[in-house]
Amino acid sequence: MNTLMDAACIVGIGQTAVCRKPGSGLSQMALQLKAVAAALEDAGLTARDIDGIMPFPNLGRAEAFAASLGCENLRFAATLNLGGAAPVAALRVAAMAVATGSANHVLVPGGWNGYSGARTREIAATDSESIPGAAIARDYYLPYGLSAPPQWYALMAQRHMQEYGTRSEQLGAVAIAMRRHAQLNPDALMHGKPMTMDDYLDSPMISAPYRLLDCCLETDGAAAFIVTSTERARDLRGRAVSIMGAASGQPYPADDIFNRKDFHRIGLTTAAPEAFAMAGVTPAEVDFAQIYDCFTFEVIQQIEEAGFCRRGEGGAFVENGGIELGGRLPVNTHGGLLSQAHLLGLGHVVEAVRQLRGEAGERQVKNAQIGVVTGWGDFGDGSIAILCRGEQR
């Protein structure tokens, strides 16, 4: 049987500094190119080696990246319309490309002026091409006062709370875990700014059940990674991290949140079993997970749908340090979107690679061998990759 298991590796990662005020001072393209330069340096590759590019939706075309960098032999370019699920979904598509010889080295960049430039809530309300469901949102959500992700997703969280008894304190436990991890990451925006449960509960309501501290940061910053075949990776200087399994999926229907027969089914519901089967491991064997944390409940939901616990048990799973370092499944060891920075999900990939290389410093998961990274986008699109230390299995 054909499989992508261990066919490809992540051989280079790069990330810029992150900030809010006064902003990066760079164009979004320049910001991304800085991250790309760092990833090339990390991999020991030059831009001439890159022959595949997978830009993030609406953040630049492959042609522009290639021309700026000097990629004279671009032969594979693709953008996946999965919003924040795109970078992790790109791991699978990039693996397909390098495994089939369609490209040798695939670059996945992503970055934005998410604080100093246009805010997500403005884009979602005004650009009917911004995401696949945007026209439906314009005609059937926006006139009723739901214009932005925390409002759409609040409806998903509220239903889960009703059906399974998930509580606000459990949402708070997610926010607090990310904040604790950020205290161990000098590059996190919330480094030096600890948070208590009282801080969480006292933060102003945005769209119930979501409070301010349920919401991710809006930040400027960029990251990038490079995927290469396992065969070629052996010749490179970077410590390769192997892609054991990867998959993406969509809820049904993907472009309308409310008319789903199974209201809690998200992209990850089908993607996770596919990825774990490919990898030949179970969720119990995973040492850490970097889970796309746009809002707190989405972490609980993804923990459930990825199979780390049963549906409805995610609230209890995240309590009492369950997803903190030292707990049963450390989640977002860098601080995540909630407390490190919003790097569109690429930061989660970068952190997973750092953990598996043993380069995570104070926040290193001891003896980390297998890690999971997920993405979430649009109205619940999902992606997941199961990664492991290269050449040590």
Provide the binding-site residues for other proteins, judged by CB under 8 A: 121, 125, 128, 135-136, 138-148, 150-151, 154-156, 158-159, 162, 204-210, 253, 256, 258-259, 263
CA distance 140 to 134: 10
For 304-324, letters b (16+ CB in 10 Å) and e give bbbbbbebeebbbbbbeebbb
| Nearest distance in Å: CB 144, other proteins | 5
384 burial (CB, 10 Å; 0-12 / 13-18 / 19+) is buried
CA distance 342 to 121: 14
- Other C-beta atoms closer than 10 Å to the C-beta of 29 total 18
User: Do residues 279 and 356 touch, judged by C-beta distance below 8 A?
Assistant: no
| Nearest distance in Å: CB 16, other proteins | 27
Measured distance between the N- and C-terminal CA atoms of the chain, rounded to whole angstroms:
21
| Nearest distance in Å: CB 147, other proteins | 4
Among residues 30 and 263, whose Cβ is nearest to other proteins? 263
| Nearest distance in Å: CB 315, other proteins | 17
| Nearest distance in Å: CB 293, other proteins | 19
State the DSSP string of 107-151. EEEEEEETTTS--HHHHHHH-TTSSTTHHHIIIIIGGGT--SHHH
Among residues 251 and 347, whose Cβ is nearest to other proteins? 251
| Nearest distance in Å: CB 296, other proteins | 15
Among residues 168 and 290, whose Cβ is nearest to other proteins? 168
3 state DSSP class of 155: helix
Among residues 150 and 322, whose Cβ is nearest to other proteins? 150
CA distance 290 to 371: 8
3 state DSSP class of 248: strand
Tell me the residue type at 37.
A
| Nearest distance in Å: CB 336, other proteins | 21
Among residues 89 and 124, whose Cβ is nearest to other proteins? 124
Phi, psi angle pair for 254, to nearest 5°? -75, -20
Among residues 113 and 151, whose Cβ is nearest to other proteins? 151
Among residues 215 and 329, whose Cβ is nearest to other proteins? 215
